[in-house]
Chains A and B, each alone.
Chain A
Amino acid sequence: MDKFEQAFNEIIEKDLKVEPRDWMPEKYRKTLIRQISQHAHSEVIGMQPEGNWLLRAPSLRSKQVLLAKIQDEAGHGLYLYSVAETLGISRQEMNEQLHSGEAKYSSIFNYPTLTWADMGAVGWLVDGAAIVNQVSLQRTSYGPYSRGMVRICKEESFHQRQGYEIMVQMANGTPEQKEMAQDALNRFWEPSLMMFGPHDADSAHSSQSMEWKIKRESNDHLRQRFIDRTVPQAHYLGLTIPDENLKFNEETGHWETSPFNWDEFWNVVNGNGPCNRERLDHHKKAHHDNAWVREAAAAYAAKTETSVA
């Protein structure tokens, strides 16, 4: 083992942070790029299902709030692209990988948002699940990723509360509104649980990532934390978790659920979800349609190189 590898191992062992200029194993770098770019793409693609309701928000207040939330998601995507760039990949390359299908994003965003209650369910469940994962990632071993997570977590809690507020309004509204809230929960419950990824035993990248402290807690552990937090929140709303086997285990203090439909999960991961094609096509279209803006900006910058902002 050379002195660089030794220094790296020591950083991991002592729970310090690896910084961009430090030596790191090639596989550590690659794993981080894969995970962080996937995370960044998820934030960016995640704007689409919410953007769907921007022009149909039921009040000016809810429209303002939704707009602010979508702007945050864009910001989170950019923080994460910046983090990945410190590992030696460019933003352009990441975009190309997204468009070619080489890079993935979270499957949850391949589900459609059919009613206004879905804006509630997305904020409450999808952002809620993301927060559980991201809070844990604040302790990741790569310094820039960890600092990005701290910043994101600070902003993300507004998203979850915004979502829950919509759920409270819908659940206490007319019978039709309550039905919409229940329907949104029915559709987003299992996909949200699957956001944590495959079971620990079936997770291809997990154990090495845990050893390198890229991930700090296992998929199943994080998922259970989310379930335990969310079930009482659903009960408060007077809604039913769509799982007839859901029960509280007095001994362990945890909520137990039915096995998930993993075929559905892999089907969506492999590109056959309800909106996979639409999401990617929309991203490509926006990128290509805006090519002239990038060209104009480059031409303007070249002409005004010496200008002061």
Chain B
Amino acid sequence: MESGDRSWEVFIQKKPGLSFKHVGNCHGYDKKMAVQNARDLYTRRGEGRALWVVPTEAIVSVPLDNADAFFDPSEDKAYRHATFYKIPDGVSHL
């Protein structure tokens, strides 16, 4: 990459109250340029009212070849879901 040019990951919030969603990345030399480029690239048609940019190198991810073992602890815990429990007939609001 050219000196000073950085890649940024872009997150957009569609409406107040919704979570920010990753939409792609953009380039920019500094934070201000990154948010302006992200706006021009990803919100030309009112796609959002709030926007984050994060330096791409700041994203940490789980190595894929390790994913099975990493997420394994949640596989066998059905009791973490509401559907695991039996509620007697006639009881409501549960």
Contacts and interface: CB of A to CB of B under 8 A. Distances in A.
Interface of A: 4, 19, 21-22, 68, 71-72, 75, 78-79, 82, 85, 90-92, 147-148, 151, 155, 294, 297-302, 304-305, 307-309
B44 interface: yes
Interface size class of B (residues with CB under 8 A): 20 to 34
Interface string B7-29: 10000000000000000111101
Interface of B: 1-5, 7, 24-27, 29-35, 40-41, 44-45, 61, 63-65
Contacts of A299: 4
Given A75-B44, A301-B33, 17 more contacts: A4-B65, A21-B64, A75-B40, A85-B7, A91-B2, A91-B27, A92-B1, A155-B45, A294-B4, A297-B4, A297-B30, A298-B2, A298-B5, A298-B29, A301-B4, A307-B30, A309-B35
30 contacts: A21-B63, A21-B64, A22-B64, A68-B44, A72-B44, A75-B41, A75-B44, A79-B41, A82-B7, A82-B25, A85-B25, A90-B1, A91-B27, A155-B44, A155-B45, A294-B2, A294-B4, A297-B4, A297-B30, A298-B3, A298-B5, A298-B29, A300-B30, A301-B29, A301-B33, A302-B4, A307-B31, A308-B31, A309-B30, A309-B35
A151 B23 CA distance: 10
B31 A309 contact: yes
A79 B4 contact: no
Contacts of A85: 7, 25
A221 to B, nearest CB: 30
A300 B5 CA distance: 12
A65 to B, nearest CB: 13
Of A19, A68, A79, the most chain B CB neighbours within 10 A belong to: A79
